[in-house]
């Protein structure tokens, strides 16, 4: 939501505007803890912003405004008695619709799920957030089948909206107890839960707080691995970073190319080393073909759509049409296989992709890798297409962070760009995306989540100086 809309509406007073626009999460938590701000006034301020966003964008599936205010009053009374409930004391947090909140539904974009009974209990993540002192005040909307931003449901909103997003390694953050569109037990290609925020420090605050209570005691699917406190060097270290090359099948739009080139220049100017990784080694196209092969092992999601008679939404149709136009021979030797033999063959292919990246980490001695988060920035509705540059990290099961950096410009990137033969993706219209945010993606090796955020913070500080 543009800041001007909230100001022009007259629905928020000056202090509420300040609460929702001025502070980082760390600053808000400090003021909630010392009593400069009350949980109630912070909750009301963010609830007003959420209500306005809902009227403009239909971005919410549930609002818990009365319950959130009751919760905030309780937290304020605890603080008045000298008790801070937890590290997230008084902080309003929204959650994705798939997470369950007792007494309300989780429809995950299906009309047929509207008849489902309200959830009887919270998802483990919700219980943990409450134990940590947070205020759950809204649930955010998702596309039909949860598949229109598959393998990027944190990072794609971040890159399109100019915010920060962090996808942890699978099962670091508890994501059990969600409503799922696939068959129970279908866990051969797992999602991961993670935060979206307006500042990079907030990503680490949430992860560190969640893991402080041992999520595995709440959620059997979560790893019982604590969040590590990395040593803070006296000065920012000089990083050796890989540069993820553009894949010829998924060419980058000019604003994305420009943002990435500027990021590389800014990093090198600060003494960091950037090492290009050859396109033949990155496995971007192969990973996309493999991931969709995994997705198509389960035909349950379409049955949920058919159950209500609702039409398949254009974004789902468009993404599948784009996928079927994509040609890749990586899985040719898997054709004709069925059942467990096909699953086993796909797992062998995933092993091959992961092993190639193992070699890259070992040979190049990298601290991290930077690259595009998508071919493009925010584009017209129902034209996003495929997510090759985020999907790669799901296949590898690597932690990845999206950092906002720059904006599209019809003046700087004036020439339209149309996909050529063998290329997949939306075309570039300079006027249509003028001013849209651009971003870069940072990732590290599997289970190096702490390093991913540390490296991302160093890069973000460097980019902010540009």
- pLDDT (0 to 100) of residue 111: 93
* CATH, residue 402: 3.90.1300.10
Is 422 found in the same domain as 292? yes
User: By percentage, how much of the chain surpasses pLDDT 70?
Assistant: 99
Round to whole Å and give the CA distance between 149 and 147.
5
Mean pLDDT of the chain: 95
Q: Indicate whether 77 belongs to any domain.
A: yes
Is 398 found in the same domain as 332? yes
Give the closest residue to 291 by CA, choosing from 386, 358, 357, 377.
386
Residue pair 92/166 in contact by the 8 Å Cβ criterion = no
CA atoms within 13 A on the CB side of 58: 3
Is 312 found in the same domain as 209? no
Instruction: Write out the H or E segment, with its range, that includes residue 127.
Output: helix 124-131
Whether 1 shows a pLDDT value over 50: the answer reads: no
Q: What's the pLDDT tens digit per position in 60-94?
A: 999 999 999 999 999 999 999 999 999 999 999 99
- pLDDT (0 to 100) of residue 65: 98
Q: Indicate whether 351 belongs to any domain.
A: yes
- Domain extent, residue 248, equals 240-464
Residue pair 459/370 in contact by the 8 Å Cβ criterion = yes
For the chain, how many structural domains are there in total? 2
Q: Indicate whether 158 belongs to any domain.
A: no
Is 406 found in the same domain as 261? yes
Q: Indicate whether 401 belongs to any domain.
A: yes
Is 348 found in the same domain as 303? yes
pTM: predicted TM-score of the whole model, two decimal places: 0.96
Instruction: Give me the helices (H) in 153-270, please.
Output: 155-161, 200-211, 254-269
Q: Indicate whether 387 belongs to any domain.
A: yes
**Phi first, then psi: what are they for 155, rounded to 5°?**
-75, -35
Question: CA–CA distance from 244 to each of 35, 276, 281 (Å)?
Answer: 46, 7, 10
Work out the pLDDT band at 183, boundaries 50, 70, 90: confident
Q: Indicate whether 456 belongs to any domain.
A: yes
Q: How many CB atoms lie within 10 A of CB 332?
A: 8
Is 204 found in the same domain as 338? no
Q: Indicate whether 263 belongs to any domain.
A: yes
Is 258 found in the same domain as 199? no
Is 293 found in the same domain as 207? no
Q: Indicate whether 235 belongs to any domain.
A: no
Q: What's the pLDDT tens digit per position in 379-398?
A: 999 999 999 999 999 999 99
- pLDDT (0 to 100) of residue 3: 57
Q: Among 1-10, 134-143, 207-216, 289-298, which is the least confidently predicted range?
A: 1-10
């Amino acid at each position: 939501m543009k800041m001007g809309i909230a100001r022009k509406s007259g629905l928020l007073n000056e202090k509420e505007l300040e609460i929702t626009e001025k502070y980082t999460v760390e600053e808000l938590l400090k003021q909630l803890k010392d009593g400069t701000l009350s949980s109630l006034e912070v909750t009301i301020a963010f609830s007003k912003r959420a209500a306005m966003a809902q009227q403009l964008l239909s971005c919410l599936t549930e609002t818990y405004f009365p319950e959130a205010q009751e919760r905030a009053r309780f937290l304020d009374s605890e603080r008045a008695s000298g008790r801070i409930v937890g590290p997230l004391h008084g902080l309003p947090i929204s959650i994705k619709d798939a997470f369950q909140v007792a007494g309300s539904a989780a429809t995950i974009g299906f009309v047929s799920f509207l008849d489902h009974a309200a959830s009887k209990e919270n998802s483990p993540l919700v219980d943990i957030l409450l134990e940590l002192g947070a205020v759950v005040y809204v649930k955010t909307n998702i596309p039909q089948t949860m598949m229109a931003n598959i393998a990027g449901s944190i990072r794609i909103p971040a890159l399109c909206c100019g915010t920060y997003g962090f996808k942890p390694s699978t099962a670091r953050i508890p994501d059990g107890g969600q409503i799922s569109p696939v068959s129970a037990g279908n866990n051969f290609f797992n999602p991961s839960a993670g935060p979206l925020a307006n500042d990079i420090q907030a990503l680490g605050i949430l992860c560190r707080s969640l893991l402080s209570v041992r999520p595995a005691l709440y959620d059997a699917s979560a790893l019982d691995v604590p969040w590590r406190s990395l040593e803070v060097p006296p000065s920012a270290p000089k990083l050796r970073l890989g540069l993820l090359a553009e894949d010829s099948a998924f060419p980058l739009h000019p604003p994305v190319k420009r943002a990435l080139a500027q990021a590389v220049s800014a990093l090198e100017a600060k003494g960091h080393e950037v090492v290009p990784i050859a396109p033949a080694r990155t496995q971007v196209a192969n990973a996309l073909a493999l991931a969709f092969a995994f997705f198509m092992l389960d035909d349950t999601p379409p049955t949920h759509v058919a159950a209500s008679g609702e039409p398949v939404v254009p974004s789902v149709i468009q993404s599948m049409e784009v996928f079927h136009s994509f040609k890749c021979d990586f899985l040719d030797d898997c054709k004709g296989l069925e059942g467990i033999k096909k699953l086993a063959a796909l797992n062998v292919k995933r092993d091959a992709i992961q092993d190639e990246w193992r070699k890259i980490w070992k040979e190049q001695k990298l601290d991290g890798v930077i690259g595009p988060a998508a071919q493009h920035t925010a584009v017209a509705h129902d034209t996003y297409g495929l997510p090759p540059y985020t999907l790669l990290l799901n296949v590898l099961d690597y932690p990845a962070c999206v950092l906002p950096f720059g904006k599209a410009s019809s003046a700087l990137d004036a020439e339209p760009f149309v996909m050529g033969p063998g290329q997949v993706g939306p075309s570039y219209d300079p006027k249509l995306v003028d001013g849209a945010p651009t971003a870069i993606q940072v990732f590290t090796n599997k289970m190096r989540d702490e390093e991913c955020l540390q490296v991302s913070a160093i890069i973000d500080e460097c980019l902010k100086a540009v």
